[in-house]
Structures are given as structure tokens and as C-alpha cells.
Structure 1
Amino acid sequence: MDDYEWNETSLEHLLTEIEKYTPLAELRGRPKKIRYVNVLLMGRIASGKSSFFNTVESVIKGRLSIRSRTDCAASSLAKSLDVYKVKGRRTFRHLRFRMLDCRCLEEDQSINSRDVEAILDGHVMDGYVFNQGTPISKDNSKFRKDPSIGDRVHCVLFVVDGSNPPEITMSQNVEKQVKELQELMNGRRIPQLILLTKIDTIVTVKEDLSKVFHSRSVLEMRDKVAMSFGLPSYTVLPMQNLANSRTASTEIKMLTLYNLRQILRAADDYLENFEDEILADTNQIPCCGLQLHI
């Protein structure tokens, strides 16, 4: 936690950092077209995917948000690609990130891999309705024909139910889907993180969430989840959503903002891999801290 203390002062520091976040802030002459970083949420039914967005918005706005429908049905509620932006509490302006919520990884009705490929590349617009048998076509009104780097997915967040760990509950079919999708992401150098939700089911942190990074039980679960996805342990972010509470404690707020900051940093890592492409798009060359317009 970068030696943060779990108090209102640290909470204000994190909130200010997120409200002031700008994609690739250190890159002088960064293009205005990258107004937002795009984070794709993927997970199984009832993993806490939609609840995470609601928790993020609730913490930032300072009031309960239920804008994203939570999964409580037998099949995924996310039948379309929903793109969410969040307004800052003090600026009333959209913060510089978007969360893309798509249908879940299901046993029999999962998202088409060609649709995922189109989403990753920035072709799919907000509101596109998925058709399991037929992926999006170039003739669809929700198909973006010439996406820029600002339209692509910059980070993927796999949301995992901590009370039903994947090494036990993930079927071979779902595991195969995940591996196929990860190949698409790896080929595009897209960072992948794992959000481990419902950590209050772990006894050692149930009464004191601030101990989450020091709990042996959490660390053991982190390592198992990371292994099941073939990702490093440090990519796992423990999380407690506002599922059964109308108000957020300081600890939940801290954990939410800390995880969001790590997600934004991962998105920046993606953009750094394409710095030359970004500069070429704007015809700008950084030189001694100055911008040269060609």
C-alpha cells in the first residue's frame, strides 16, 4: 500500500491522485485523442464484476451508486457492451477512465471470441448487443471502422469470486475460454489484472480489512488464483465490494481507490508500449522537454 495509513488523510490523497489522473501524464505532447483509458471487465456470473463498478462510483461520488446492474440471475445480465464513465465529486467532470462491461464467461453462453477481439481493438461501440452465434460485422451500426489507440482496451480486469476460487470451480470449458482470450490479449500486449472479490469471506480480514495485505490466508488464495490464470501473483488485487452495505467504511474506500490506481497504472504501461505510435498520430516529437510540431 506504499506505506499508506488507513485513515482519512491517505484516503484524500488517493482520491486526489485519481481525480487528477491523465493517461501518460509524463509524456509531453500527449495526444488529446487519448482522453480516457479503457478497462475491460470480464468474469463469471455473480463474481462481482458489475458491483465493482458500482463500488468505484459510490466511493468517488460519495453516495451509493447502482448504475450497473449486478448479476443475480442464472445467466449473465450483460447482454450488451456497456461503457461507463465516472464524474468526479468535486470537478463534476468525467474522470479519465472508462470501464467496459460485457457478458460473462459462462459455461454454455459465453461471449464470442471474435467479439472480444473486436472489443480489444476498439471496433465495438457502447450499446452493442451480443449475438452468441454471430459476432459483430463491419456493417453493424455499432462497429467502429477506424479505431484509434484511444479506442482500444488498455487493461483487462478478470473478476474472480473469492468465495468460489477458480482452481475449484472453473470448468475445463471456461478455463479453455479464458486461455483463448488471454492469447488474444497477450498478442496485443494488453496488461491483465485479477480482482479477487468477496474477501470478507476470509476470517482473518472479515473484522479488519486493513489487514488484507498481511493475511496469510489472502496471500495463499492470491497465489492459487494467479496460478489458475497463469499470471504473476502481484497482478491479483484483493477487493471487497459494497454488496451488502449502503455505506462504505474508510477501509473499503481505501482498498477501492488503491485497486483503481493500480488498474490505471497498468493501462499506462500499455500506452507506454506504443509511445512511438502515439507521437506519430499527433505529429509531435519530444525533444529536450519541448514539443516540435511538424
Structure 2
Amino acid sequence: MGNYFFKPAPPPSLSEPWREINWGERQSALKSVQDYKPRIKGQHLRILLHGPVGAGKSSFINSVISVLEVKMRTLAVTESTSTDCCTKKYTTYKIQKGSPDAFYPLVLNDMSGVKNGTRRNRKIHVKDVTRLMKGHVKDGYTFNPECKISKDDQHYNTSPTVNDKVHVLVSVIDASKVSLMSHEVLEVMLDIREEAKELGIPHVAILTQIDQACPEIQKDIKNVYRSIKLREKMEQFSVNSGIPLNSIFPVKNYHDEIDLNGDVDSLILSALRSIINIGEDFLNRKNT
């Protein structure tokens, strides 16, 4: 009989994490966000979330609000299926900080998701997002795939302030569908990335559903930066989107839980702190 050599399957996890998270220090991570203040009084950081339909934009917003308000919140409407987009209007979410009339100096903006369509529809979507980033779109605007917002629209802002403009663009992607993303959707996201670059707006990405994409993470979320499979997905999306690996942050959104979890919070806070730091650098450059 001949000799047969079988190449062993690679391990699902690395022995050492390739990115560090302070899992046991949720309170200090939360305090660093609570202590955030823009240099200019009255200014806030505007974070725009966009991405494919069903990627988890609204769920991420709910998760961030839950972590910062330290109670489970569901302000942004979500669906249990990803066949259609819940968000039809441009919506701003403020986050309470202690008393009902006090808020964090950052806002999260949700918008309709990217989906397959005609080239004309895709161009209209990109044009609307460009106007969003420039601050020309008011809260409550309903997206229309057939036509971009006009200057005569009641939701068109003719004189945007620095607080109306977007300071960080965040692409939200379902980690389990990175390899399944259509060319049409990716093309729209690349066009929006180019528009953001023209405006000097920093661009990062959030990968959701990491527990569904990787069994070792579902078993223990602390395996997030040990998972070889997740690392490969992040690298693949980095190549496809042009977003550097150090600007891509995996998270687990709250979905079926009724109580907060310290490890889930730590991962969300880690991503949020990075987004705030990146956005603050942009604000400081604009103000100098």
C-alpha cells in the first residue's frame, strides 16, 4: 500500500488574539464614552449608518443606546427578517445621559438600506447620501428610489451648520453575508465611499451577526479576535470595500436578549470609542 499524507485542517481559533479587548473593564470603557466632549461647546458628533438591507443598522443603533443608557432599548424599528428595509426615513437618534433633558454629544443617523436596483436608482441613492453627508437633508425625509431630494422639498436644508453635517460614515455589514454581497450593492457602497473621501469624511465599518457567522464566537464571544474565520471575512471585506482592516469593527447586536451582557457591551463600546476618536479627529481638523 502507498503512503497517504493528509494535511490537517487548520484550527478554528488562534492561540492568541490579534486585537486586544479589555473584557473585564466595561465600566471604564463606558466612562470614557460618558466623558467625551467635543472641543467646541454645543457641537455634537453626527454618525451616519448605511449598508445593505437587513445588515443590522437599526439593531446596532438600539444596541448602542442600550449600552449607554444601561437598559435595553428598542427605539429604532427592526424586523425579524431581512427581506425588506424597515427604515424608510432619515432618522436621528439622540441618547439620553442621566436626566431626560441631558444627552450625549453624539447622534446616530439611520437611513434606508442599499439594495439591488437599476443603475438610475443606485445613482439617486448615492446623490441622496451625498446630500445627507453635506447636511442638506432634514430629519424625517422619506427616501425615493425614483428621484433625489430637490431644493424645493420641505426636508431640504439650504443652510446646514456643522452639526447638520455627517462627521463619520459607518458601513454596517452582516458578517455571514460578506461573500454573498452582490456587485450592485458593493458598487453603491464604493461610490458612497468615494463621495465621503471627497468631503474628507472618515469611513469605517461595523460587522454584525458575528456569532451567526462563526460557531466559535457563538460559543464564546471572547473568541472574536481568535477566530480565523472572522479574520478572513474581515480581510475579504477590507479588500472589497477599500476600508483598512483597522477601521473594521466586529460586534454582536442585541437581538433576543432581555438583559445586558458585559462581554457584548465591551465589544460595542470598543467599536464606539474608535468611531468617536476617528470622528473627533475629523472635527478638530475642520475647526483648525
In the superposition, the TM-score normalised over structure 1's length comes to 0.84
Q: Pick one of 231, 248, 256 that aligns with 2:260.
A: 248
Instruction: Return the alpha-carbon distance in structure 1 between the equivalents of residues 19 and 125 of structure 2.
Output: 39
Match of 1:175 in 2: 186
The answer to whether 1:272 aligns with 2:284 is yes
User: Given that residues 209 and 251 in structure 1 are in contact (C-alpha distance below 8 angstroms), is that contact kept between their aligned partners in structure 2?
Assistant: yes
Q: 1:60 to 1:233 in 2, by over 3 A?
A: same
Alignment of 1:108-187 (within 5 A): 108=117, 112-165=125-178, 168-187=179-198
User: Given that residues 60 and 89 in structure 1 are in contact (C-alpha distance below 8 angstroms), is that contact kept between their aligned partners in structure 2?
Assistant: no
Instruction: Return the alpha-carbon distance in structure 1 between the equivalents of residues 269 and 139 of structure 2.
Output: 25
Instruction: Return the alpha-carbon distance in structure 2 between the equivalents of residues 122 and 20 of structure 1.
Output: 26
RMSD of equivalent CA atoms: 2.0
Q: 1:92 to 1:203 in 2, by over 3 A?
A: farther
Deviations 1:40-89 (A, max 9, x none): 10111211110001111111222221110114353212111000011124
Instruction: Return the alpha-carbon distance in structure 2 between the equivalents of residues 164 and 104 of structure 1.
Output: 15
Instruction: Return the alpha-carbon distance in structure 2 between the equivalents of residues 112 and 189 of structure 1.
Output: 20
Match of 2:13 in 1: none
User: Given that residues 83 and 101 in structure 1 are in contact (C-alpha distance below 8 angstroms), is that contact kept between their aligned partners in structure 2?
Assistant: yes
Amino acid at match of 1:64: M
Deviation at 1:269, TM superposition (A): 2.0
Deviations 1:204-258 (A, max 9, x none): 2222212312322222221111111111111110100011212221100111111
Q: Pick one of 46, 50, 65 that aligns with 1:57.
A: 65
The answer to whether 1:198 aligns with 2:209 is yes
Secondary structure of the equivalent of 1:84?
strand
Q: 1:221 to 1:73 in 2, by over 3 A?
A: closer
Secondary structure of the equivalent of 1:12?
helix
In the superposition, the TM-score normalised over structure 2's length comes to 0.86
Q: Which has the larger displacement, 185-194 or 135-144?
A: 135-144
Q: 1:149 to 1:92 in 2, by over 3 A?
A: closer
Deviation at 1:272, TM superposition (A): 2.6
User: Given that residues 54 and 113 in structure 2 are in contact (C-alpha distance below 8 angstroms), is that contact kept between their aligned partners in structure 1?
Assistant: no
Q: Pick one of 4, 8, 16 that aligns with 2:31.
A: 16
Amino acid at match of 2:194: E
User: Given that residues 54 and 83 in structure 2 are in contact (C-alpha distance below 8 angstroms), is that contact kept between their aligned partners in structure 1?
Assistant: no
Runs of 4+ in 1 over 3 A off after TM superposition: 1-5, 89-92
User: Given that residues 204 and 217 in structure 1 are in contact (C-alpha distance below 8 angstroms), is that contact kept between their aligned partners in structure 2?
Assistant: no
Q: Pick one of 94, 105, 110 that aligns with 1:96.
A: 105
Instruction: Return the alpha-carbon distance in structure 1 between the equivalents of residues 253 and 96 of structure 2.
Output: 19
Q: Pick one of 248, 265, 272 that aligns with 1:236.
A: 248
Instruction: Return the alpha-carbon distance in structure 1 between the equivalents of residues 250 and 89 of structure 2.
Output: 27
Q: Which runs of 5+ in 2 are unaligned?
A: 1-17
Q: Pick one of 60, 66, 78 that aligns with 2:74.
A: 66
User: Given that residues 124 and 142 in structure 1 are in contact (C-alpha distance below 8 angstroms), is that contact kept between their aligned partners in structure 2?
Assistant: yes
Deviations 1:76-112 (A, max 9, x none): 1211100001112478621011111000001126662
Deviation at 1:273, TM superposition (A): 2.5
Q: Which runs of 5+ in 1 are unaligned?
A: 277-294
Secondary structure of the equivalent of 1:247?
coil
Match of 1:286 in 2: none
Instruction: Return the alpha-carbon distance in structure 2 between the equivalents of residues 91 and 261 of structure 1.
Output: 23
